């Protein structure tokens, strides 16, 4: 069985970067809860797939790089750096603009699967780069 850190590494490197949607069912429990990806928590692997498909369709060249990972017991904190180009028609009309943003994700892993995740993704920067939100600092 994979360690919690190995589960998370596979989640980013193989599932996201490798576009292995089939790994969602393998790495995420059917009753998992993902917080911070929308107004309501996402329920289970089946509930996560529409989010995944929408994001990959919006940014088909999305690449996530793990900057650092800290694991203690069943908890893993992963700091990621994401890049890509918003060329897909999901998540609003395609803009053709490059995006670069970071995130911190905390995941609890049990029996080789993610059972709960807390996503702190910089969607503000993502939307500012697409021109959807003004930069309040400038």
What's the pLDDT tens digit per position in 42-80?
Answer: 999 999 999 999 999 999 999 999 999 999 999 999 999
Domains and CATH numbers, the chain: 4-129 (3.10.450.50)
**Is 91's pLDDT higher than 90?**
no
Distance of alpha carbon 19 from alpha carbon 17, whole angstroms: 5
The Cα-based distances of 6 to 51, 55, 56, 57, 126 in angstroms read: 23, 23, 23, 26, 28
Region 107-111 average pLDDT: 98
pTM of this structure: 0.93
């Amino acid at each position: 069985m994979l360690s919690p850190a190995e589960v998370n590494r596979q989640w980013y490197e193989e599932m996201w970067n490798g576009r292995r949607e089939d790994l969602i069912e393998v790495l995420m429990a059917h009753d998992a809860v993902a917080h911070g990806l929308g107004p309501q928590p996402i329920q289970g692997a089946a509930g996560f797939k529409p989010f995944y498909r929408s994001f990959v369709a919006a940014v088909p060249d999305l690449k996530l790089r793990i900057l650092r990972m800290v694991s203690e017991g069943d908890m893993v904190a992963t700091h990621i750096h994401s890049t890509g180009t918003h060329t897909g028609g999901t998540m609003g009309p395609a803009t053709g603009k490059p995006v670069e943003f970071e995130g911190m994700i905390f995941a609890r892993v049990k029996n080789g699967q993610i059972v709960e995740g807390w996503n702190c993704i910089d969607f503000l920067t993502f939307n500012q780069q697409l021109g959807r939100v003004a930069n309040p600092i400038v």
